[in-house]
Amino acid sequence: MIRLAQNSDLEGIVTIYNQAIEARFQTGFTEGFKTEDRLEWFDEHSPLTHPLYVYEANGMVAGWLSISPYRSGRAALRFTAEVSYFIHTDHRQQGIGNALLQHAIANCGELNIKTLLAIIIDRNAASINLVKKLGFEQWAYLPSVAEFDGVECSHVYYGLRVS
């Protein structure tokens, strides 16, 4: 079941994010977070403009997706948002990321979002395949801008015009 995230979901969200950080090549962070470290980030996501969604399975957070402002504070970019999603390692390859991303795309109209961006590390083939499957196209490529344990990677921007 997909629903808006609640404060009680934050621990599960952080657990999943820390799994992605530890795995490398899934987010630009290299050090894990404590739940309290993410309180401000959580509170910045308004259900009316830039929500956080969770996929709940058997009473636990199995995955989550955030819609965040792209270049916050720049009025000309107010109709563009960045989408990020992460799935618990025990729940991957079950269609949860697909369901979350489709849900986000379907809700962009009511959120007044015209363009979604997914900014993905080039070694994250699963995420790249998912966004391409849902109609995102590569719009930008930033070569060798990230480094994990001595391994340089690129950032790839995928975009989808939703309205």
Q: What pLDDT, in 10s, does the model give residues 103-127?
A: 999 999 999 999 999 999 999 999 9
As a whole number, mean pLDDT of residues 1-8 equals: 97
* pLDDT at 46 exceeding the cut of 90: yes
Q: What is the pTM of this model?
A: 0.95
For 126-162, write each residue's pLDDT tens digit: 999 999 999 999 999 999 999 999 999 999 999 999 9
State percent of the chain over pLDDT 70.
100
Cβ–Cβ under 8 Å, residues 140 and 157: yes
Query: In whole angstroms, what is the distance from residue 39 CA to residue 61 CA?
Result: 17
Residue tagged 């996929």 (tokens):
55
State percent of the chain over pLDDT 90.
99
pLDDT of residue 53: 98
Q: What are phi and psi of 81, to 5 degrees?
A: -135, 155
Q: Tell me the C-alpha to C-alpha distance, in Å, between residue 77 and each of 70, 84, 122.
A: 7, 18, 24
Query: In whole angstroms, what is the distance from residue 113 CA to residue 125 CA?
Result: 26
Q: For residue 86, count other CB atoms closer than 10 A to its CB.
A: 24
Candidates 28, 16, 20, 40; CA nearest to 119 is 28
For 72-90, write each residue's pLDDT tens digit: 999 999 999 999 999 999 9
